[in-house]
Amino acid sequence: MNSSQAKDRITKLRTIIEEHRYKYHVQDQPELDDDAYDSLKAELASLEAEYPDLDSPTSPTHRVGGEPLEAFQRVEHTVRQYSFDNIFGASELFDWDEKIARFVSKTDIDTDEITYIAELKIDGLKVVLTYESGHLVQAATRGDGQAGENVTSNIKTISAIPLQLPHDVDVIIGGEVWLPKQEFARINNDRRQAGEPEFANPRNAAAGSIRQLDPAVAASRHLDFFAYDIESIDTRDTDLDAPDTQQAELQLLSTLHFRVNPDHVHCNGIDCIQKFYDEWIEKRTDVGYGVDGVVIKLNDKGLQEELGYTASAPRFAVAYKFPAETTTTQIQDITLQVGRTGAITPVAHFKPVLLDGSTVSRATLHNEDEINRLDVRVGDTVIIKKAGDIIPQVVEVLTDLRDGSEDKFVFPRQLDACGGDGTIVRPDGEAKHRCKEVGDRQRHEVFYHFVSKGCFDIDGMGPKIIDQLLEHDLVTEFADIFKLNKEEITELPRMAEKSADNLLDAVEASREVTLPRFLHGLSIGFVGSETARLIAQHFGSITDIRQADREDLIAIDGVGDTVAESVQDFFAAEDNQTVVDHLLDEVEITQRKSSDVSDKLSGKTFVFTGSLDGFSRTEAKEAVHARGGKVSSSVSTNTDYVVVGESPGSKKDQAKELEVSILSESDFNKMIS
Catalytic residue positions, numbered: 121
DSSP assignment, residue 25?
I
Q: Residue 157, SS3? A: coil
φ, ψ of residue 531 to 5 degrees: the values are -65, -40
Half-sphere exposure of 349 (CA within 13 A, CB side): 6
Query: Which secondary-structure segment (H or E) carries 590?
Result: strand 588-590
| 3-class secondary-structure state, position 102 | helix
Q: Which of helix, strand or coil describes residue 75?
A: strand
Q: Are 448 and 340 in contact (CB under 8 A)?
A: yes
673 burial class (0-12, 13-18, 19+ CB within 10 angstroms)?
A: exposed
The secondary structure of residue 592, as a DSSP letter, is P
CA-to-CA dists, residue 434 to 80, 216, 413, angstroms:
61, 59, 11
- 8 A C-beta contact, residue 120 and residue 290: no
Residues 32, 45: contact at Cβ < 8 Å? no
Give CA–CA dist 634/609, Å, rounded: 10
Other Cβ atoms closer than 10 A to 175: 25
For 459-479, give one letter per residue: b (16+ CB within 10 A) or e: eebeeebbebbbeeebbeebb
- Residue 672 and residue 668: Cα distance in Å, rounded? 6
Euclidean distance between CA atoms 467 and 472, whole angstroms: 9
Query: Distance (Å, rounded) from C-alpha 179 to C-alpha 225?
Result: 9
**Count of CA atoms in the C-beta half-sphere (13 A) of 284:** 24
- 561-572 and 574-586 are packed helices; what angle lies between their axes, rounded to 10 degrees? 80
Query: What's the CA gap between 247 and 115, in Å, rounded?
Result: 10
Is the Cβ–Cβ distance between 130 and 137 less than 8 Å?
yes
φ/ψ (deg, to 5) at 264 = -140, 160
Q: Torsion over CA of 93, 96, 98 and 101, rounded to 10 degrees?
A: -130
Residue environment code for 546-578, b if the CB has 16+ CB neighbours within 10 A, otherwise e: bebeeebbeebeebeeebbbbbbebbeeeeeee
CA distance to 272, 281, 672, per residue, from 665 (Å): 28, 19, 11
What one-character-per-residue DSSP string does 528-580 give?
-HHHHHHHHHHH-SHHHHHH--HHHHHTSTT--HHHHHHHHHHHHSHHHHHHH
